[in-house]
Structure 1
Amino acid sequence: MREAIRQHLINQIPEIKGCFEPHAATAKTQKPYLIIRQGMDTEETPWTGFRRIIEVWPYVSRTTFINVDTLAEKVIRALDGQLLTTQAGEVFTCHYLGTAGDDFVDEDWDAITRGLRFAVMALQPVTVPETVADDPWLDKLALWTANVMGVDWTIYRNFWPLGYKRPAVMWRITNIEVREKGTAMFEVRKRFTGHILGRTPNEQIAGVMTILQEMGNAIKIPLDTMSRKYMTISNMASNMQQDAITAGQISLILARNTNRPAEDAPLIMGVHNSGFIND
């Protein structure tokens, strides 16, 4: 993964004299250059797997901080939100988190530098329990989304895979509620969170708007057309500021009445006396 980042930076910023690991650069290394440091992996969420922290340190001659500002901006543009691929074919995206402390003047190396922190999500395969085993509601929602978004979009369920592609939509179930509606009749309500990931900010926003508009027009999503079973859409909400990978920008509820709630609300993670099943 570091090698993929290193090579991408070299290709995107031709004026640098190299991109090194910390032990490889010396005081005599020709400037400007970059140093890459890898932090620890931390478990993030069941649907993103692990997060790895990467720091990129641009080193410039000890002249003016404007030079390090310029090089830092180029590093951020080269990595933030860009889709990268390792030699093994694994796809990942870097997300800029901010600086790693204050600017630093290295008098021994006659250099000025600044740490830039990036997070890389879902870098390695992890054991992810399915939110719902073979949940037909999730399957039909994914199918409906695929029809609406078109062949350019990839639709995922429950979690982001290691080699996820852009543009993509990932749906996951966050809550199930069963309400009594009368004698032997129940309403099953499932809350879904949608993650819409575009290749550009404009494509991402357009993807969110397309789903919201089409859901507003549809009102219901087919569950089983032969049996005339449908899921009613309600409580749609969106937040464009939410992170597409970790949080998701769309929240909604699908609901239907049934006299067999166990068929529509299988056990997931835990069942509570209130009638709610949460992730």
Structure 2
Amino acid sequence: MRAGVRKQILDNVTTLKDCYEPNVPKHNTPKPYGVVVQGTDSSRQDPTSFQRALEVWIYADLGSFQTLDNLMIETIESLDLKTFTDPNTGLSYTATFNGTIGQDMVDEEWKAIVRGLNFSVIALHETDTSSDTWEKSTAEFIEEVSGVKSYKGAWREDFQVPSVLCRTISKATEEINYSSYRENREIRIHVVSDKKDERNQIIDTIEQSLMSAIKIPLDIEDRRYLIIKSIRENRDSDMLGTGQITVTMTRINSIERGGTFIEHIYGRGKIN
């Protein structure tokens, strides 16, 4: 992963002399340069895929605050919601910028001013292996009403901005009677955009469309639908890892029971 991050930065931030692993630069290493430090894996229970913290430290000559500001902007633009590939493994990733790390540091011995940038890196799946029909139906409905690329299950290598992800976060069933049961699911919807106004507009469109539709098609030929029970949102949630909209859906299914069924009743006499 780190090799992919370093390559992505060097390909897009041309003023950097190089981008290193930790402990590689020396006090006389030509500046400006970057250092990539890999953090810990996410401890969340509901990430869409592998996620890890990452720090990028930018070293510039003392007194070159303008240079440091420009390098920070270019580094963020090179990684934030961009797709990149690790040249050693062939795996693809994207990242989100989470802010700077503390205050700028001045290293008198190394004659450098240093700024840390905090990112989250998410792995992108190579192929679509999800066969979940609820996720598929929800993604197709959202893509049709919003015109935004929609994924199901997990983020893919063809990750686009803006885009939407639909994934199941919980399932439950309850018996109605001898021949039928109710299936309930919560579908989490992620809306990704690098523009807050666009992200909010897409969220509004999705929510309004779901509320007005009441139900979305699961299988049109068999006239099977998913009924919308409730919609909740948290626009401040992590758009890549957690998602902003939670939709509760339900449908009634028949229970296939084995055994011999009575087809005819024969009798004589009367019942008074």
TM normalised by structure 1 equals 0.74
Instruction: Give the match for residue 264 of structure 2.
Output: none
Contact 1:154 1:165 in 2 (8 A): no
Aligned in 2, Cα 1:92/1:261: closer, same or farther, shift over 3 Å? farther
How many matched pairs?
253
Aligned in 2, Cα 1:30/1:261: closer, same or farther, shift over 3 Å? farther
Aligned in 2, Cα 1:213/1:103: closer, same or farther, shift over 3 Å? same
Aligned in 2, Cα 1:62/1:94: closer, same or farther, shift over 3 Å? same
Structure 2 unaligned spans of 5+: 258-272
Aligned in 2, Cα 1:138/1:211: closer, same or farther, shift over 3 Å? same
Q: Percent identity?
A: 31
Q: Distance in 1 between matches of 2:231 and 2:42?
A: 32
What amino acid maps onto 1:29 in structure 2?
Answer: T
Q: Distance in 2 between matches of 1:124 and 1:173?
A: 17
Aligned in 2, Cα 1:3/1:201: closer, same or farther, shift over 3 Å? farther
Contact 2:94 2:123 in 1 (8 A): no
Q: Distance in 2 between matches of 1:111 and 1:253?
A: 53
Instruction: Give the match for residue 265 of structure 1.
Output: none
Residue 100 of structure 1 and its aligned partner are, at CA, apart by 3.6
* Alignment pair present for 1:165 and 2:159: yes
Contact 2:168 2:187 in 1 (8 A): yes
Instruction: Give the match for residue 249 of structure 1.
Output: 244
What amino acid maps onto 1:143 in structure 2?
Answer: E
Q: Distance in 1 between matches of 2:241 and 2:9?
A: 25
Contact 1:43 1:50 in 2 (8 A): no
Higher gyration radius (CA): 2
Contact 1:45 1:246 in 2 (8 A): no
TM normalised by structure 2 equals 0.75
* Alignment pair present for 1:153 and 2:154: no
Specify the SS of the correspondent of 2:98: strand
Residue 173 of structure 1 and its aligned partner are, at CA, apart by 2.0
Matched ranges for 1:106-117 at <5 A: 106-117=107-118
Structure 1 unaligned spans of 5+: 263-279
Specify the SS of the correspondent of 1:245: coil
Q: Distance in 1 between matches of 2:194 and 2:115?
A: 28
Instruction: Give the match for residue 190 of structure 1.
Output: 185
Instruction: Give the match for residue 261 of structure 2.
Output: none
Q: Distance in 2 between matches of 1:120 and 1:229?
A: 39
Contact 1:198 1:207 in 2 (8 A): no
Instruction: Give the match for residue 76 of structure 2.
Output: 76
Question: Over aligned residues, Cα RMSD in angstroms?
Answer: 3.3
